[in-house]
C-alpha cells in the first residue's frame, strides 16, 4: 500500500496506523511465542535435513539400502527381540493387554518417525540443540549397552555349544576382536546383506 508523502496529515495518519499494527503484532507474538519457537526449530530442522540429503556428485546418502536388505534387517530384529523378550513380556502382561499395547506402540513409533531419518531430528524440533545432544547420547549409550548384552549372550551360547571348551568370558573377548572392525564402517549397507543369515539362524534356533 502506497502513502502520499506530499500530504503531512495523511503521512502522520499512516504512521499511527503502522504503530497500531506493530502493537497488535507484539501482543500476538507474546501469546504465540511457543508456537513461533516450534516453527523456528522446524525450519532449522528442514534446513539440516536438506543439508544431510544434499548429494555428493549428485548421489544422496539417504536411502541407499535396498528394500530386501531393509526387510531382512527388520525381520532379524523382530525375531531376535521375540526370542529374547516377548515370551516373558506376554507372560507378565497377559494377551489382552500386551497385544494391543504392542500394536499401539508400534503405530506411534511409525507415525512419530515419518520423514525423519535420525532420532536427533525428532528431539531437535521440541528441544532444540540440547535435545540433539541428549538424543545422541541416549541412542549411542543404548547401542553400546545392547552390543555388550548381545556379546554376553553369544558368548554364553558358544560356551554351551562347545561343551565349555572356553569360558564365556573368553568367547566375549574373541567376539569383541572379531566385531571391532564393524565399528569402523561408515556405511552399513554391506552388513544388511548378511541379515538373511540372522533370519535363518533365528528360525533354526
In a domain, 78, yes or no: yes
29 within a domain of the structure (yes/no): no
Q: Confirm whether 154 is domain-assigned.
A: yes
Q: Are 112 and 121 in contact (CB under 8 A)?
A: no
Question: Is the pTM above the cut of 0.85?
Answer: no
In a domain, 112, yes or no: yes
50-100 per-position pLDDT tens digit: 555 544 444 445 556 666 766 766 666 666 666 666 777 777 878 888 888
Per-residue pLDDT tens over the stretch 142-163: 888 888 888 888 888 888 888 7
Residue 59 sits at φ, ψ, to 5 deg, of -110, 120
Closest CA to 171 of 157, 183, 182, 186: 157
| pLDDT number for residue 80 | 62
In a domain, 55, yes or no: no
Q: What's the pLDDT tens digit per position in 120-150? A: 777 887 788 888 889 889 988 888 888 888 8
C-alpha cell at 112: 512419530
48 belongs to a structural domain: no
41 lies in a domain? no
Q: Using CA atoms, how far apart are residues 129 and 50, in angstroms rounded to an integer?
A: 17
Domain around 95: 66-204
The secondary structure of 156-177, three-state, reads HHHHHHCCCCCCHHHHHHHHHH
Residue 32 in this model has a pLDDT that exceeds 50:
no
Domain count, the chain: 1
- pLDDT mean over 7-23: 75
Query: Residue 101 — very low, low, confident or very high, per pLDDT cuts 50/70/90?
Result: confident
User: Is residue 50 in some structural domain?
Assistant: no
Stated as kind and residue range, the H or E segment containing 37 is helix 33-52
Q: Tell me the per-residue pLDDT of 186-204, one tens digit each, with 9 for 90 and over.
A: 666 666 666 667 667 666 6
Amino acid at each position: 500500500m502506497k502513502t502520499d508523502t506530499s500530504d503531512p496529515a495523511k503521512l502522520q495518519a499512516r504512521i499511527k496506523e503502522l504503530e497500531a499494527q506493530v502493537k497488535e503484532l507484539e501482543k500476538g507474538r507474546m501469546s504465540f511465542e511457543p508456537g513461533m519457537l516450534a516453527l523456528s526449530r522446524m525450519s532449522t530442522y528442514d534446513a539440516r535435513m536438506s543439508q544431510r540429503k544434499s548429494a555428493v556428485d549428485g548421489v544422496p546418502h539417504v536411502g541407499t539400502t535396498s528394500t530386501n536388505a531393509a526387510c531382512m534387517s527388520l525381520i532379524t530384529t523382530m525375531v531376535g527381540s521375540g526370542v529374547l523378550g516377548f515370551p516373558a513380556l506376554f507372560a507378565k502382561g497377559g494377551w489382552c493387554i500386551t497385544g494391543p499395547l504392542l500394536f499401539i506402540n508400534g503405530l506411534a513409533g511409525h507415525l512419530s518417525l515419518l520423514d525423519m531419518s535420525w532420532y536427533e531430528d525428532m528431539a531437535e524440533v521440541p528441544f532444540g540443540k540440547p535435545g540433539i545432544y541428549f538424543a545422541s547420547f541416549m541412542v549411542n549409550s543404548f547401542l553400546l549397552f545392547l552390543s555388550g548384552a548381545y556379546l554376553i549372550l553369544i558368548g554364553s551360547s558358544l560356551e554351551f555349544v562347545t561343551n565349555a571348551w572356553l569360558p564365556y568370558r573368553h568367547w566375549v573377548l574373541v567376539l569383541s576382536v572379531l566385531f571391532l572392525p564393524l565399528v569402523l564402517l561408515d556405511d552399513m549397507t554391506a552388513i544388511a546383506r548378511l541379515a538373511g543369515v540372522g533370519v535363518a539362524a533365528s528360525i533354526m534356533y
